[in-house]
Structure 1
């Protein structure tokens, strides 16, 4: 992959973003996301996505705990980002008190969570998945928060996954995160590995959207 030639010419965070623009666009324009933003789904259709996120973020945040002692990985462990507590409140609101006994992961979700745990044997692999999910939630995910309020009148419980009050200024937090990416002591080869795993993370996300679309029988 011809990304390594750019690594010394610009900050790594910029290289990472540029290298994932195409796959990011594919995810944003998947059949499932088009249906969600097109107002074609009942609230239950969004709830199935929230269920999948619960399993995915469980895996990521388990790996955050494991990274607490890693000299590189710990720089990307932010307690204020943790989503599982908010997802638990959302699912209790959307599905009822017995939600834990009713939710189920899609095969693509199970594969995604497995990949997160496998990749996180190395800090760079952990960061690839962490970056893909959380920076996307802080930025583009806010469009879903607004949609939930407008389309389904869900503004608090049910949409807390997209509330990031604990991080303070979102632009400043993103700048801090990018600075950590730029200063991480990865070699040129290791940076290329991070880019590759970030692309894998996006593909895992797209696979979940694809299976949701199939389950919900959405037309392409």
Structure 2
């Protein structure tokens, strides 16, 4: 069986994962993420990422509010996943009580948020961006949570973004999510569109990390 045939024989969730593995790995091993996960950055260095996440999740969760009336999109609206309340508490602790007036999106973040809004005119585009962010936070994001708690003693405001207590078992939730991907009524052409938009979403993540990396020297622990 050829690689292409083998991929097509997999459930859609498996196709999506394998098709995006390369760019996913590139995002995880970007200069910024290597520095963060390597313990090289101060808490202020992590805060720059949390600020960008606020604008990204604001875009995604605004779309979630509109997807409740879409037959396909509403299957991927999970109130227990919403990150904005946790991010607001984190930023109040990381930046200060006036954080709303002090934070700004990077140019790459603005482009990412705009793409989320544009792509989500179709439920498949929404799902592509939703999948890219939330499933990554539930899984790999826990590495960052442990780093923040260990290096900066953040057990409350500061690392709440990575707390998913309301979903119950994380592996069970991921299986449930993948089941919804497999059951979504998309033909092969639509599935290809979802995969392509997921690749775009990962590229936007890489762009944000690359822009954050431009100021790494300001945040490196001496």
TM-score normalized by structure 2?
A: 0.95
Distance in 2 (alpha carbons) for counterparts of 1:58 and 1:82: 10
CA RMSD of aligned residues (A): 1.5
User: Gapped runs of 5+ residues in structure 1?
Assistant: none
Q: Which residue of 2 aligns with 1:70?
A: 70
Alpha-carbon contact 1:80-1:167 (below 8 Å) kept: yes
Give the secondary-structure state (helix, strand or coil) at the position aligned to 1:69: coil
Show the counterpart of 1:200: 200
TM value normalised by structure 1: 0.95
The aligned residue for residue 104 of structure 1 is 104
1:1-220 mapped onto 2 (5 Å cutoff)? 8-217=8-217
The structural deviation recorded for 1:40 is 1.1
Q: Relative to structure 1, is the Cα distance of residues 4 and 193 closer, same or farther in structure 2, using a 3 angstrom cutoff? A: farther
CA contact (8 A) 1:16 1:195 kept: yes
- Structure 2, unmatched stretches of 5+, are none
Offset from partner CA, 1:158-214 (integer Å, 9 cap, x none) = 000000000011111001000000000001000000000000000000000000000
4+ residue stretches of structure 1 with deviation over 2 A?
3-8, 215-218
Aligned length: 217
Give the deviation of 1:8 after TM superposition. 4.7
Return the offset for 1:104: 0.5
Q: Specify whether residues 164 and 14 from structure 1 end up closer, same or farther in structure 2 by C-alpha distance, changes over 3 A only.
A: same
User: In 1, Cα distance between the equivalents of 2:68 and 2:38?
Assistant: 40
Residue 35 to residue 29, structure 1, CA distance change in 2 (3 Å): same
